[in-house]
A and B are shown apart, each in its own frame.
Chain A
Amino acid sequence: GSVQQRMDSFFTVV
Chain B
Amino acid sequence: MFEARLTQGSLLKKVMEAIRELLNEASFDCSENGIQLQAMDNSHVSLVSLNMGSEGFDKFRCDRNLTMGMNLASLSKILKCASNSDAITLKAQDDPDTVTFTFESENNERVSDYSMKLINLDQEHLGIPDTEYSCVVKMPSADFARICKDLSQFGDCITISCTKEGIKFSVAGDIGTGNVKLAQTANVDKESEAVTVEMQEPVSLTFACRYLNHFTKATPLSEQVQLSLSADVPLVVEYKIGEFGHIRYYLAPKIDE
- Contact, CB under 8 Å: B127 / A14: yes
Q: Give the nearest-CB partner of B211 in chain A.
A: A3
Q: Is B234 close to A, CB under 8 A?
A: yes
- Contact, CB under 8 Å: A12 / B45: no
Q: How far is the CB of B29 from chain A (nearest CB, A)?
A: 12
* A-facing residues in B215-257 (Cβ within 8 Å): 232-234, 250-255
- Taking A3-B251, A3-B252, A3-B254 as contacts, is the C-beta distance between A13 and B234 under 8 angstroms? no
Q: Give the nearest-CB partner of A13 in chain B.
A: B124
**Interface residues of B, dominant DSSP:** loop
Choose from A3, A12, A14 the contact partner of B208 (Cβ within 8 Å).
Answer: A3
- Contact, CB under 8 Å: B129 / A10: yes
- A1-14 vs B: 1/0 string, CB under 8 Å? 10110110011111
Q: Is B82 close to A, CB under 8 A?
A: no
Q: How far is the CB of B105 from chain A (nearest CB, A)?
A: 41
Q: Is B186 close to A, CB under 8 A?
A: no
Q: Give the nearest-CB partner of B44 in chain A.
A: A4
Give A14 to B29 CA distance when docked, in angstroms: 15
- B35-47 vs A: 1/0 string, CB under 8 Å? 0000010001111
Q: Is B188 close to A, CB under 8 A?
A: no
Choose from B124, B125, B129, B234 the contact partner of A7 (Cβ within 8 Å).
Answer: B234
- Taking A3-B45, A4-B45, A7-B45 as contacts, is the C-beta distance between A12 and B251 under 8 angstroms? no
Give A14 to B234 CA distance when docked, in angstroms: 18
Q: How far is the CB of B210 from chain A (nearest CB, A)?
A: 11
- Contact, CB under 8 Å: B254 / A11: no
Give A6 to B124 CA distance when docked, in angstroms: 17
Q: Give the nearest-CB partner of B257 in chain A.
A: A1
Q: How far is the CB of A9 from chain B (nearest CB, A)?
A: 9
Contacting residues, chain A, for B208 (C-beta < 8 A):
3
Give A6 to B234 CA distance when docked, in angstroms: 8
Q: How far is the CB of B25 from chain A (nearest CB, A)?
A: 19
Q: Is B126 close to A, CB under 8 A?
A: yes
Assuming A6-B253, A7-B44, A7-B46, what are 11 further A-B pairs, CB within 8 angstroms? A4-B44, A6-B234, A6-B255, A7-B47, A10-B234, A10-B250, A11-B126, A12-B127, A13-B124, A13-B125, A14-B124
15 of the cross-chain contacts (CB-CB < 8 Å) are A3-B208, A3-B252, A3-B253, A4-B45, A6-B253, A6-B255, A7-B44, A7-B234, A7-B252, A10-B250, A11-B128, A11-B250, A13-B124, A14-B124, A14-B127
